[in-house]
Amino acid sequence: MSPGLRALAVDDSPLALERLIRLLRENPRIAEVSAADDASEALKLVMGVPLDVAFIDIQMPGLSGLDLGRVLARLAAPPLIVFVTGYEEHAADAYDLGAVDYIRKPVSADRLATAVNRVLKMLPSAELAPKLVPDAFAALPVEARGRTRYVKRREVLFVEACRDTVKLHTSSGVHTVRMPLAQLAESWEEAGFVRTHRSYLAAVAAITELRSDPVGGLVAHTELGDVPVSRRHARAVRERLFEAARTDEPEH
């Protein structure tokens, strides 16, 4: 296989589909582009051709893009999914399905390139992205006022989920990145982070103590404030803190 992604474009609008195909073919990271104008045709292509990523419109007659995403998620080796839509209200549902990105129409070449890079970071193949895969989330790009800066993982004390974005809490401030918390948690767990709550991820080294809050819940205290610890995650948090303390204990 030649280096690059095998992509599928799905949209019931001929003009939108033509534009998406053209932008994908112009992207140097894309090797092959297949196309479908409805979900049924897309499913036939996915079953017959190995694909790395599907760019799917949400509003389609019959089987919607979200419905198609749910079907693809049940496959043994599904392609990664990027939703392309003119509406914002489906973002939470899209990320719940495990979508890598959520692009608003009209799609631009720059925005598509960002989505393609995110897809590459999720793939294990060194042939596709030899420079992006190793420790891909050691630093995250933060866009604000037309500028991009990178927040390093070691700067982050805890992460808070907010719909389709995450807020990185650092000593220099709070920085927002558009990605699902589950994706970040999976990448950062081996780098010293622990899931404390369905909406929170914390650096183990940043937690100074566990204590009860005024209503009887459990919180992990950091220098930037308290992070909630749910009952579901409390045991894992305690185990990670104990392991960290034992590792730091000097030998006698």
Tokens of 11: 């949209």
CATH architecture of 139-248: Beta Barrel (2.40)
- On the 0-12 / 13-18 / 19+ scale of CB atoms within 10 A, 82 is buried
- What is the value of pTM for the model shown? 0.51
Judge if the upstream peptide bond of residue 250 is cis by omega within 30 degrees of 0.
no
* CATH 3.40.50.2300 domain residues, the chain: 5-122
In tens digits, what is the pLDDT along the chain, a chain of 252 residues? 346 899 999 999 999 999 999 999 998 889 999 999 999 999 988 888 889 999 999 989 888 889 998 888 888 788 999 999 887 777 777 777 788 898 988 899 889 999 998 898 887 653 444 333 345 578 888 877 777 788 899 999 999 998 778 999 999 999 998 888 887 887 788 889 999 999 999 999 999 999 998 887 899 999 999 999 999 999 999 999 988 887 664 443
User: What is the C-alpha separation between 32 and 3, in angstroms, rounded?
Assistant: 10
Ranges of CATH 2.40.50.1020 domains, the chain: 139-248
Identify the residue whose tokens are 């050691």.
138
Instruction: Determine the Cα–Cα distance for residues 113 and 135; give it in Å rounded to an integer.
Output: 20
**From 3.40.50.720, 2.60.40.420, 3.20.20.70, 3.40.50.2300, which CATH number describes the 5-122 domain?**
3.40.50.2300
